[in-house]
């Protein structure tokens, strides 16, 4: 199986590449006025899923590309589609971007705003959504939201979240093996709490998925090999340091204590409280 790149956008794309998941997200968090207007029984589309500090400008570019493609395809045969923009934010810092495009023009008078391009976007800030609300959603939707929400959290919180989701996933066959593989890989590569012990716990819970077991087994072996290699390198480094220290001590003894200070202690000398010889 070909796995998607596991940066945050990579996982988000895999997670959102599922129409029911996207529909669940929009049904729950679209503004009510929009939700009443649009027909979510029609498959919604995600234009782009990445963002940066210039999010309003990125949304303008994405909308322009989509509208131009639609216009080129249909010409004057039909109306252009209305495009609704939403940000799913899971970063550790507070979201600071303004929610309207007109702010990109700077501080313009209110009476001129009707003459400039403007549109709003919806912010879904995962840090402000209680877990209880997320966990009420279908498991595929909630597992992705929780994975994104806790990726920058302390290890203790990451551990609790993974174990909680493991219990829910193990109790049902609602999640496909392909998505489960991507979810576990995201935990492995992005969560600082994920070590060989966590891999064993995940494998014990998800023993029904042979692909996940194989991936976790490979991870555990890689983790152990990395530990051994780091141990060897650390041992070699320590050995070199000890050899250098031994050589330095011998040089100091020959230089400062030859025949005059047989009980000389170079550590005390290094602290500045040994008698100064020579």
Residue 8 has φ and ψ, to the nearest 5°, of -65, -40
pLDDT of the residue at 278: 34
pLDDT of the residue at 15: 86
pLDDT of the residue at 275: 37
186 within domain boundaries: yes
Q: What is the mean pLDDT of residues 181-203?
A: 85
**Residue 84 in this model has a pLDDT that exceeds 90:** no
Neighbours of 138 (CB within 10 A): 13
pLDDT band, very low/low/confident/very high, at 226 (cuts 50, 70, 90): low
pLDDT band, very low/low/confident/very high, at 42 (cuts 50, 70, 90): low
**Residue 73 in this model has a pLDDT that exceeds 50:** yes
pLDDT of the residue at 95: 84
Q: Between these two residues, 262 and 89, which has the higher pLDDT value?
A: 89
Distance, CA of 35 to CA of 33 (rounded, Å): 6
47 within domain boundaries: yes
Q: Between these two residues, 141 and 8, which has the higher pLDDT value?
A: 141
Contact present, 155 and 161 (Cβ < 8 Å): no
The CA–CA distances, whole Å, from 153 to 96, 148, 157 equal 20, 10, 6
Over the chain, what HEC string results?
CCCCCCCHHHHHHHHHCCHHHHHHHHHHHCCHHHHHHCCCCCCCCCCCCCCCCCHHHHHHHHHHHHHHHHHHHHCCCCCCCCCCCEEEECCCCCCCCCCEHHHHHCCCCHHHHHHCCCCECEEEEHHHCCHHHHHCCCHHHHHHHHHHHCCCCCHHHHHHHHHHHHHHHHCCCCCCHHHHHHHHHHHHHHCCCCCHHHHHHHHHHCCCCHHHHHHHHHHHHHHHHHHHHHHHHHHHHHHHHHHHHHHHHHHHHHHHCCCCCCCCCHHHHHHCCCCCCC
Q: Rounded to an integer, what is the distance from CA 85 to the centroid of its chain?
A: 22
pLDDT band, very low/low/confident/very high, at 199 (cuts 50, 70, 90): confident
Q: Rounded to an integer, what is the distance from CA 65 to the centroid of its chain?
A: 28
Q: Between these two residues, 235 and 135, which has the higher pLDDT value?
A: 135
75 within domain boundaries: yes
pLDDT of the residue at 230: 55
15 within domain boundaries: yes
Per-residue pLDDT reduced to its tens digit, 248-275:
445 444 443 433 344 333 333 232 333 3
261 within domain boundaries: no
Residue 251 has φ and ψ, to the nearest 5°, of -65, -40
Q: What is the mean pLDDT of residues 25-43?
A: 79
62 within domain boundaries: yes
Q: Which residues on neighbouring strands pair with residue 125, listed in sequence order?
A: 89
Neighbours of 274 (CB within 10 A): 15
pLDDT of the residue at 52: 54
Q: Does the model's pTM come out above 0.85?
A: no
Where in the sequence is the domain holding 181, given as residue range(s)?
Answer: 8-105+114-194
Q: What is the mean pLDDT of residues 9-20?
A: 83
Q: Between these two residues, 43 and 248, which has the higher pLDDT value?
A: 43
Nearest to 92 by CA among 12, 149, 156, 15: 149
**Residue 234 in this model has a pLDDT that exceeds 70:** no
Contact present, 4 and 13 (Cβ < 8 Å): yes
pLDDT of the residue at 212: 72
pLDDT, the chain, mean: 75
Per-residue pLDDT reduced to its tens digit, 118-177:
988 888 899 999 999 999 999 999 999 999 999 999 999 999 999 999 999 988 888 888
234 within domain boundaries: no
* 66-70, 182-186, 199-203, 257-261: the lowest-pLDDT one: 257-261
278 within domain boundaries: no
Q: What is the mean pLDDT of residues 238-256?
A: 49
Per-residue pLDDT reduced to its tens digit, 100-116:
888 888 888 888 888 88
- Number of folded domains in the chain? 1
């Amino acid at each position: 199986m070909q796995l998607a790149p596991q940066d945050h956008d990579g996982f988000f794309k895999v997670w959102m590449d599922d129409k029911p998941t996207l529909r669940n997200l929009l049904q729950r968090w679209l503004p009510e006025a929009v939700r009443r207007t649009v027909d979510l029984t029609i498959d919604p589309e995600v234009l782009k899923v990445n963002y940066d500090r210039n999010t309003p400008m990125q949304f303008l570019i994405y909308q322009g590309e989509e509208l131009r493609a639609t216009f080129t395809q249909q010409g004057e045969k039909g109306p252009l589609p209305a495009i609704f923009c939403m940000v799913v934010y899971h970063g550790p810092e507070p979201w600071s971007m303004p929610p309207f495009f007109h702010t990109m023009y700077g501080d313009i008078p209110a009476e001129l705003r009707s003459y400039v391009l403007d549109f709003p976007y919806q912010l879904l800030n995962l840090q402000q959504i209680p877990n209880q609300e997320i966990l009420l959603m279908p498991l595929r939707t909630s597992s992705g939201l929780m994975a994104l929400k806790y990726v920058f959290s302390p290890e203790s919180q990451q551990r609790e979240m993974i174990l909680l989701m493991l219990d829910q996933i193990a109790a049902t066959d609602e999640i496909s093996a392909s998505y489960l593989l991507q979810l576990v890989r995201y935990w492995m590569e992005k969560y600082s709490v994920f070590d060989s012990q966590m891999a064993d716990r995940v494998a014990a819970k998800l023993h029904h998925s042979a692909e996940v077991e194989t991936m976790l087994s490979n991870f555990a072996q890689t983790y152990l090999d990395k530990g051994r290699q780091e141990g060897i390198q650390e041992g070699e480094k320590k050995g070199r340091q000890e050899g250098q220290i031994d050589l330095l001590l011998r040089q100091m003894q020959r230089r400062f204590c030859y025949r005059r200070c047989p009980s000389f202690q170079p550590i005390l000398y290094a602290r500045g409280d040994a008698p100064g010889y020579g």
